[in-house]
Amino acid sequence: MKLLLGIAVAVLALADAGQSPLQRRVVKDVLDYFHSRSNVQFLFREQSVEGAVERVDSSGTFVQLHLNLAQTACRKQAQRKQNCRIMENRRKPVCLACYKFDSSDVPKVLDKYYNCGPSHHLAMKDIKHRDEAECRAVEEAGKMSDVLYLPGMFAFSKGLPA
């Protein structure tokens, strides 16, 4: 049993090591969001990340993750959250997260979108199209700030006293 636990910890450490700091930040934010929902009674853990995308452009960094969660035996209000074991054959929701960070030393979130639900829910065509459109909009965040301000773009006038 201890060997199995050791292997599980090693696998989680390797999975965490493969993620960039921004990806880890997105995972933490999505878990916080998921646990804040009123219908969630138990703690969930990251089981795997599929399809991680990280693109850097002049307006910042876009991160998109498909995050598979697994329900643990601990309730949300548990004091010791590290020792919660994953429950087999329980809920395993999937989350899609799209984040756009600026290019500063401490990246700020410019825009974000996430959607969590059962895996069959996110596979539905209309939801999938909405998710893709929302992620495209998030990726475009901050790009309008690259537009040059030319003379005459804005007009200001001072009103006469009444």
pLDDT tens for each residue of 5-17: 343 333 344 444 5
The answer to the question of residue 92 being in a domain is yes
Q: Domain range holding 73?
A: 21-144
Domain count, the chain: 1
- Report if residue 68 sits inside a domain: yes
Q: Does residue 43 belong to any structural domain of this protein? A: yes
pLDDT at residue 2, as a whole number: 43
Lowest mean pLDDT among 45-59, 97-111, 120-134: 120-134
> Does residue 157 lie within any of the structural domains?
no
Note whether residue 6 is domain-resident: no
Residue 150 forms part of a structural domain? no
Residue 124 placed within a domain: yes
Indicate whether 154 belongs to any domain: no
Q: Write the pLDDT tens digit of every residue in 58-96.
A: 888 999 999 999 988 888 877 666 778 888 888 888 999
Tokens found for residue 78: 């548990």
CATH number of the structural domain spanning residue 28: 3.10.450.10
Summarised one tens digit per residue, pLDDT across range 107-157 is: 899 999 999 888 776 667 788 888 888 998 889 887 765 456 666 666 666
